Amino acid sequence: MSLVDAICEELPQLGAVTVRSVRIRVGALSGVSMEALMFAFDVAADGTPIAGARLIVEAASGRELDLTAVEVWDEPAHRGSP
46-82 pLDDT tens trace? 999 999 999 999 999 999 999 999 999 987 555 555 5
Domain of residue 57 covers 3-74
58, part of any domain: yes
43, part of any domain: yes
Query: For the domain that residue 67 is a member of, what is the CATH number?
Result: 3.30.2320.50
81, part of any domain: no
22, part of any domain: yes
Question: Whole-prediction pTM value?
Answer: 0.81
Query: What is the chain's length?
Result: 82
21, part of any domain: yes
pLDDT for 34 beyond 90: no
**Helix-, strand-, coil-residue percentages of the chain, each rounded to 5:** 35, 35, 30
Residue type, 51: A
Report how many domains make up the chain.
Answer: 1
